[in-house]
Amino acid sequence: MTRLSVNINKFATIRNARGGNNPDVKKAAVDCQRFGAQGITVHPRPDERHITYDDVIGIREVVTTEYNIEGFPDERYIEIIKKVRPVQATLVPDPPDVLTSNAGWDTDKQASFLKEVISEIKKFASRVSVFSDTRKEMIEGAAKAGADRIELYTEPYAQRYHTDKENAVAPYVTAAEIARSLGLGINAGHDLDLHNLSYIRKSIPYLDEVSIGHALVCDALYYGLENTIQLYLRELIT
């Protein structure tokens, strides 16, 4: 079964727009799990424009499923991993000022760097996932660097899904087969939603996990959080 990890960054974005603690991101983590999510994802950025360092620490106390911390593996991120010791550390190649994760790693050019940081992070996290596009050499590079999983960057799939879903998903099916042959687990994330989620899950039946935040929170504004999580879970099993 493909697991649903809810990225709760957007709850923090709404809170930070007004200050105070409404919505309470710690409660959001508790509720997402109570409503069926099998994981909680956060992506603390250096400017703390959504999830803050204190959030990351506080949320650790209430996560009873899997805690996934995304980020660029600089010294600050590695210190967070050392302190929190999450189930999963997901490495993304974002510079500090980027709006959202929008590319996979160049695991060829960054081979030495990734190998070094993955070795260090594995001392404190149960597994390490590397954000990746669908190119064979990038997936092979993630395996060589010591990653346990890749997270397939799915924005190109989502953009093309409504006009040509078969060709949109094809590179991801091939990439997943390559990753599986290398012994890597397979996660996916970015712009997955209630429209395109089921198709990619059916196309990659051994997909381990999807991480979804923005679309899920937007849907929750209309359907309510509990109902929305159930809708997403349904897409992962039908």
pLDDT of residue 103: 75
140 noted as active-site residue: no
What mean pLDDT value characterizes the chain? Answer: 95
Amino acid at 227: N
Q: Mean per-residue pLDDT for 85-109? A: 82
Q: Mean per-residue pLDDT for 111-125? A: 97
Is the per-residue pLDDT at 95 higher than 90?
A: no
- Please choose, from the candidates 80, 32, 83, 21, the residue with its C-alpha nearest in 3D space to the C-alpha of residue 91: 80
In which band, very low, low, confident or very high, does the pLDDT at 238 lie, cut at 50, 70 and 90?
Answer: confident
158-179: per-residue pLDDT in tens? 999 999 999 999 999 999 999 9
> 10 Å Cβ neighbour count for 139?
28
Catalytic residue from among 50, 66, 70, 209: 70
70 noted as active-site residue: yes
pLDDT of residue 101: 55
Is the per-residue pLDDT at 119 higher than 70?
A: yes
192-213: per-residue pLDDT in tens? 999 999 999 999 999 999 999 9
Q: Mean per-residue pLDDT for 96-121? A: 85
Higher per-residue pLDDT: 35 or 96: 35
Is the per-residue pLDDT at 98 higher than 60?
A: no
Q: Mean per-residue pLDDT for 32-48? A: 96
pLDDT of residue 94: 76
- Please tell me whether the overall predicted TM-score, pTM, comes out greater than 0.75 for this model: yes
Q: What angle do CA 125, 152, 199 make, to 5 degrees?
A: 125
43 noted as active-site residue: yes
Domains of the chain: 3-235 (3.20.20.70)
Catalytic residue from among 50, 66, 190, 209: 190
Torsion of CA 102, 108, 109, 110, to 10 degrees: 70
The fraction of the chain above a pLDDT of 70, given in percent, is 97
**Helices 75-84 and 111-121: crossing angle, nearest 10°?**
20
Q: Mean per-residue pLDDT for 102-121? A: 93
pLDDT of residue 100: 55
127-141: per-residue pLDDT in tens? 999 999 999 999 999
Instruction: For residues 229 and 26, give the distance between their C-alpha atoms in angstroms, rounded to a whole number.
Output: 17
